[in-house]
Chain A
């Protein structure tokens, strides 16, 4: 098995090879065609619900546009604390110069992603959908903050990557939408590789010092955090902007829909299996 340093060296070479200027990489059209799909319909959060079934194709396409904007906003809000947390840990938690070299690429690429998503939202929507969080401190075991941080990194990256891979190859979508998704995916594939390795290393270094209750508490939190992250995909503000009369009821319907639950479970499969393989979870949980 490769060490974290070996993984970092390999990923650094790849980041150098695929280095790009985010301000010139993409060709942005003036407008997006409202008669086209801008998000793969199967990924729209209400897909499979009664609300979706009752919508016309034009309404579904309008919703798909706002869903895409909601999805990009969600990644933006996920990447902000990621940049913050990684900046905090570089040269403090991590001292290996090869790993640090890759962390610099990681930060550079995350900043580019934020510029890319922000650029999309500025051009075509004129706003970023806000997140609705209030920071609360919770009681943590020694070193748990670092384990939780890298676990959160993976949640953001792996869930969004599932969507990016599908939309990056979906010919129904405008080229700019495919390009933004694919550009993000190409970088994120490396970030996920690194994130999985690093999370495993931090977990194996930290969790043996925890009591069984602390390990159990962390595992419970991790599943709850994954469920909470999924709930963020169901945004009433998106539904309101798409013209739905009762955005809260639409969200509740999607959260309790069996079709939507199956989608969440399937989209999380690789991510959850990796958590089991690395020992963070004991078995793949059934998501809410």
Chain B
């Protein structure tokens, strides 16, 4: 899957999951800080990341910054 497709899928998933749909979501919009997702959505987000990555994710050493925005998610889980 191309980078742009991964990013698009992540943005779509986040907007669909959000209780209050954001007017816009760019790759540098802080998703937790802005309250788009809550801490209770994190497991769902990680499972979705595993799904499109096709591989399991080890969250033990991860910090909140790793899912700050789509850019961070891409770098952490899909970057080479």
Contacts and interface: CB of A to CB of B under 8 A. Distances in A.
Interface stretch (A59-67, A129-137, A271-279): A129-137
Given A132-B43, A236-B50, A138 B59 contact: no
A133 B56 contact: no
Nearest to A235: B47
Contacts of A231: 43-44
Contacts of B48: 248
A130 B47 contact: no
Contacts of A134: 42, 46, 59, 62-64, 66-67
A228 B51 contact: no
Contacts, number: 50
A231 B64 CA distance: 21
Contacts of B40: 221, 224-225, 227-228
**B interface, over-half SS:** helix
A134 B57 CA distance: 12
Given A225-B40, A231-B44, A132 B57 contact: yes
A148 to B, nearest CB: 12
A66 to B, nearest CB: 15
Q: Among B43, B48, B62, find the residue whose CB has the most chain A CB atoms closer than 10 A.
A: B43
A133 B59 contact: yes
Given A133-B59, A236-B50, A237-B56, A138 B38 contact: yes
B39 interface: yes
A236 B39 contact: no
A50 interface: no
Bin chain B's interface residue count.
Answer: 20 to 34
Contact of A133 (B38, B43, B66): B43
A135 B59 CA distance: 10
A262 to B, nearest CB: 22
A269 interface: no
Contacts of B23: none
Interface in A200-258: 221, 224-225, 227-228, 231-232, 236-237, 248, 251
B23 to A, nearest CB: 23
B58 A130 contact: yes
B39 A138 contact: yes
A228 B43 contact: yes
Interface string B1-45: 000000000000000000000000000000010000011101110
Interface string B46-74: 11101100001111101110110000000
Given A224-B38, A225-B40, 9 more contacts: A132-B43, A133-B43, A133-B59, A134-B42, A134-B59, A138-B38, A138-B39, A228-B40, A232-B43
Interface of B: 32, 38-40, 42-44, 46-48, 50-51, 56-60, 62-64, 66-67
